[in-house]
Amino acid sequence: MMCTLPIKNIGLQGNILTGLTIRRYESFEAYCPSFKSIHTPAHYEELQHWGIHLLFKTAPDGSVIIGDSHEYAGVDNFDDLGFNLNLYINQLMLKEAGRIVNFDVNQIASTWAGFYPQHPEKHIVEYDIDNRIHIRTCIGGKGMTASAGYTEASIQQIFG
């Protein structure tokens, strides 16, 4: 993930998800009958290899969050991932981002990586310790995409 310096007057209203995002999240495949007929362009192959899909979100200060990529390891091999940011992956993302939007994506203020557990069957793990402590986590790096909607539904379920 990356975040630009604040950018003035880009006019980005809302979030942008790209065709790579559609290919990344299984909900599109599950609910879109024509999904299997979507052709994947050759220039997407390396991006998909690194779990890259492009999304853009404007933060309140005018900076733009650009994401993201995914590297995976099973829970037994989690240490294989290390804690380093892969500059090559970020360069691939910025190249594709520059192809999509009409503002300078190279004015990066910060970068970070998320490290996510993997569950063999569940996309969301919910655990209630007692009636005041509730643990919820989205598995596999779906936080930016799904967190707001899931949080609202979860709060309604717990406190509604």
Question: Per-residue pLDDT tens for 125-144?
Answer: 888 999 899 988 766 556 65
**pTM, full prediction:** 0.72
Query: Could you give the CA distance from residue 18 to residue 40 in angstroms, rounded to a whole number?
Result: 13
* pLDDT value for 139: 61
Cα of 30 vs its chain's centroid, Å: 18
User: 71: which residues sit within 8 A by CB, 6+ positions away?
Assistant: 50, 51, 81, 86, 89
What residue segments make up the domains of the chain, in order of their start? Answer: 2-115, 119-160
Q: Which helix (H) or strand (E) holds 97?
A: helix 87-100
- Matching residue, tokens 């091999």: 77
- Matching residue, tokens 């779906």: 142
| Residue 51: φ, ψ to 5° | 70, 25
* pLDDT value for 22: 77
Bond preceding residue 76 cis, omega within 30 of 0? no
* pLDDT value for 21: 80
Averaged pLDDT for residues 63-82: 77
Q: What percent of the chain has pLDDT over 70?
A: 88
pLDDT band with cut points at 50, 70 and 90 for residue 27: confident
Q: Which amino acid is at 107?
A: Q
| Residue 16: φ, ψ to 5° | -115, 125
